[in-house]
Each structure stands twice: as structure tokens, then as C-alpha cells.
Structure 1
Amino acid sequence: MRFSDTLVFVAVVAFAVALPHASAVDYGKIGTTYEITEADMLEWIEQRVTAKVASGEALRYQQQQAEKIKRKLLNPEPLRSVTHAARNRTQYYDPTFTVEENIVNERGQILVAAGTTINPLNRIGLSRPLVFFDARDKNQVAFAKRFLDSRAGLAKPILVGGSYFELMKKWDTPVYFDQQGALIRKLGIQHVPAIVSQEGIRLRIDEIAL
């Protein structure tokens, strides 16, 4: 078949396919055909996985990932939004908020009307002071330990950097980490060490220079 004839033939086939009620027509075999020799993709993937498992590579990768996750959990990324306190500073945080929508029960009765102001400290007080510090700084660690001892352990140590796990083992007491800086952003803490305690219906925040 000449090249020009081929073009005509392709055009006719395309036109026939475009017809809404066209019937299927067998035009026979055009040119030389070959059997597909490429490997099946799923079969190829299965072979690769089997080979990695057999060689131990898959297990090594799994162990590496598990170790990486473990290190990240035990040593969270330090919070870079806080720095070491260079001077003493005291500020206050008022947790009062205004209800934006009516809070109703299952029967539609209004429990708290929109526009109502609420201060959680009127109902639930801060039972223990919080001490925020960076465990990578030995001076801050020593300060936090003295503070905890002065309170007979009735305070909550919260890290902004360092390993809470190592410190928890050393002190044999729960140590927390301010994940993603949720608390320091809420309270407006910019420098550490900082002590948060309740004073009336406000929270007092003392940033302390060492």
C-alpha cells in the first residue's frame, strides 16, 4: 500500500469510528505484527520485592525507618521561636473568651448563649505551675530541677528543646515537650526558662534570665 493510500485508509477508518451507529468492520491485519515481549509490570514488581526480601534489604530498610521514627519521637525538633531569656520579664495571659454561637443540648435548649464570656479559670484552676525550658542548656536544666524540688515535684516540666525521654529517665518523673509550640504560642512565651502560674483569674508568666 502506498503512503497516500494509507492516509486515505486511516481517514476512512477514523470517519467510520466517529459515526454513532457505525458497525464494526474487520479490515484485516495491517503491516507486520509482533507478540508483546515486555514483562508484566505486576510480575516485575513482585520479582523485585521478592529479591529485596531475600537479600535482607527490605528488612534493613524497615529497621532504618523504625530507628529514624524512634529518634524523632524521643528527640523532637527544638522550637526555634523561643530564645534564652536575657532579662527578667513578667506578663499575664487572660484565657477569657466569648462564645460565638449558642451551645445547645440534644433537645435544642440553650445551655450557653452566644455572646457569653467565659474564663475557664473560674471553674478549673491551674493545679500545678508549668516550667518551660531548653534541656540542651545545662543551666536551664539545673534551674528547672531546683524549681521542681522547691515544689516537692508538684510542677510540670515542659521542654522546648532537648530529649524529654533522657531527662525523664534521669529525674524519674514525667517530662513533657511542647509539640509544635502550641502552648508557647497560646501563652505568648518568647524566652525561656519561663514559669507559668495562676494569679487570680489570670496566668502569670515569668521569663527568667540566668
Structure 2
Amino acid sequence: MQRMTRAQQQQQTKEMLFTAAMEQITKFGFEKTSINSITEAAGFSKGAFFSNFENKYDLLLQLTEKLKDEERTLLKSSLNINDKKHTISTNGLNAYFDHIKNNTACVILDIEMQLIASRDPQFKSFYYQFQQENNKALGEIICKVFAFKGVKPSLSPESLAQIFIALTEGLLLQNVDNPGKQIKAILEALIEKDNKNLK
């Protein structure tokens, strides 16, 4: 069996710290989760933590960014987008909407970040930039769904992303059984509205 390189070992350590942090934060909240509790749950020393993160806020930002990036990647791959032919996989889109109910941990982390940003002006600037980048990337993917239907959205990609995120977070926090079904219905209604405006 081939030994892991130093970079691979560090990445594995980071992933284990991410997993421990996600479990601790979703269970106890960000404020009550300590660096000690994260490292103990992951089975590492505090030195391992500070080799990967500047502080607890840095971990939260990196973890949320990782989860959102994974979510965008999943959505993009589910759609099987072909920009040249302007096609997407409708089955993939339906599968993605079914998957949304499994996204509770990411939503809780994002809510934690929003709460911190509302109290900490310095963190707010980091969070705002992070949200802008995420909204732009997610909005561009959502616009592909409109384009597939032959419709140009009346809202900006960022606004579409904000609606999508707000719906997802709100429905998951309300413990709705099938949030994807409602989000899909609203997305279809927006597409239908803009389609009628084109005629």
C-alpha cells in the first residue's frame, strides 16, 4: 500500500477536522463549540487545528465554502449542462431537488455565519464577499435552467440565487418533508412568468 504524501496527510487531517466541526456546530451551535471540542472529536491536537486554520472563524468560512462548492458542483453535474446545445438533464434536475432535503447541515452552518455577521462588522465584510461569489456562481447555473426553457430571466443571476437560497434555508429550517418539490414549483412559476412576458 502506497504511503500518503505530506500534502495528502494534511488534507485528510483537514477533512477530519471539517467533519468533527460540522457535527459539533450543528449539534451545539458555533458559539458553544470550542477548538478543543473539535480537535478532541477528530482525534487531533490543537497544533493540527492551527496548521490548517487561523481560528474558529476561518474554519467556519472554509467549511461553508467547501459545502457550498460541493452543492454547486452537484447541481451542475446533475443538470449535465451542454452549453453548445443549450440542453440540461431534466431527470438530473429532479434528482437534485430530491437531494435538497439532505442539505440541513450546510443550512445550519450558513445561518450560524449570518448570525455572526450580524454582530461582528469585520466578519460581515468577509461573509458579504463570500455570499456575493456564491450567489454569482449559483445564479449562473440557475440561469442555465431558464435558457434551456428558452426564457431570459427578468431577475439577475444573483437575485435568483438569493431566492433559491432563502427558500432552501427557510423550508429546511421548518422541517418541510420535501422542500425540493416546493422550490421546483416556484422556479417553474418564475420561468413561466418570464416566458409570458416575452410573448
Q: Which category of TM-score, normalised to the shorter sequence, fits these structures?
A: under 0.3
Pick the structure with more strand per residue. 1
TM-score (norm 2): 0.24
Pick the structure with more helix per residue. 2
TM-score (norm 1): 0.23
The structure with more radius of gyration: 1
Work out which structure has the larger RCO, using CA pairs closer than 8 Å and 6 or more positions apart in sequence. 1
